[in-house]
Amino acid sequence: MRASLRTGLGLALLVGVVGATAGGAAMLLGVERPVPAVAPVKPVAKAASVPVAAPAPVATPIAVSTPAPEAMVVRRVLDIEGPFTHGRWVWDEDGAPSKGPLVITIDLDAQTLSVFRNGYEIGAAVVLYGADWKPTPLGALKITEKDADHVSNLYGAPMPYMLRLTNDGISIHGSDVQEGAATHGCIGVPTAFARKLFGAAKLGDRVIITNGKRLGMGGAITA
């Protein structure tokens, strides 16, 4: 059985936003003005009318929406024995596909990170996250950079096996995961686990961070 920290898996809800635009045409109004009196003139021949080509039809732009990422169904959850407490982690790829899309879910309420490949959980760890004054952002993110020997340019602290998530420095990286500790917004995992995750993850892989959203067997990861 899993301890209270591991009561479920994090899932962020996918929210699709579709925008639409509408155009309008301005209408020019003619104004009648008085005509001054002039001397009579001889009538002149009426000029022949010149046909004017009709304006070519303008194509109406079509709004195109980006399809949401394909849902991944949870097919396996690792069976973790004993209390799942700070510093603990597991990694088990036996029976899981060797290839396929990888998704990382993090639930701050459960303090748990899970790694899924093709719907099979292959890794899990208890995490550290941001302090109240520097909270970890929620939402669906992507890995944009990998650096095994990264050092923070803001705090000068080592961030081994760093997986960058945002442009302002939020990442997943190796940490000394102890109860009561917190980060400047990053997700801290045991360094040995971070090494495993670094080797499995690729640029562009999805990372879903929630706070109290849980997912069980057969549930769909759609964010």
pLDDT digits (tens, 9 = 90+) for 153-162: 878 789 999 9
Told to judge if 186 belongs to the known catalytic residues of this protein, a careful annotator would answer yes
DSSP for residue 172: E
Asked whether the predicted pLDDT for residue 38 surpasses 70, the reply is no
pLDDT of residue 89: 98
Adjacent-strand bridge partners of 106: 113, 209
Asked whether the predicted pLDDT for residue 80 surpasses 70, the reply is yes
Among the options 86, 150, 184, 186, which is catalytic? 186
Q: Which of 48, 213, 53 is nearest to 140 (CA)?
A: 213
DSSP for residue 75: -
H or E, element range at 195: helix 191-200
pTM score over 0.75 = no
Sign (positive/negative) of CA torsion 80, 212, 176, 3?
negative
The region of weakest confidence among 6-10, 100-104, 156-160, 218-222 is 6-10
Selected residue with higher pLDDT from 35 and 136: 136
pLDDT digits (tens, 9 = 90+) for 95-118: 999 999 999 999 999 999 999 999
pLDDT of residue 11: 36
pLDDT of residue 56: 54
Mean pLDDT calculated for residue range 140-160: 93
pLDDT of residue 96: 96
133's torsion region: left (phi>0), alpha (psi -120 to 50) or beta? Answer: alpha
pLDDT of residue 178: 93
Distance CA(127)–CA(189), nearest Å, equals: 5
Cα→Cα distances 6→54, 89, 114, 169, Å: 70, 11, 10, 27
Domains and CATH numbers, the chain: 4-13+67-216 (2.40.440.10)
Asked whether the predicted pLDDT for residue 200 surpasses 90, the reply is yes
Cα→Cα distances 201→103, 154, 171, Å: 9, 25, 13
DSSP for residue 61: P
Residue that the structure tokens 């591991």 belong to = 6
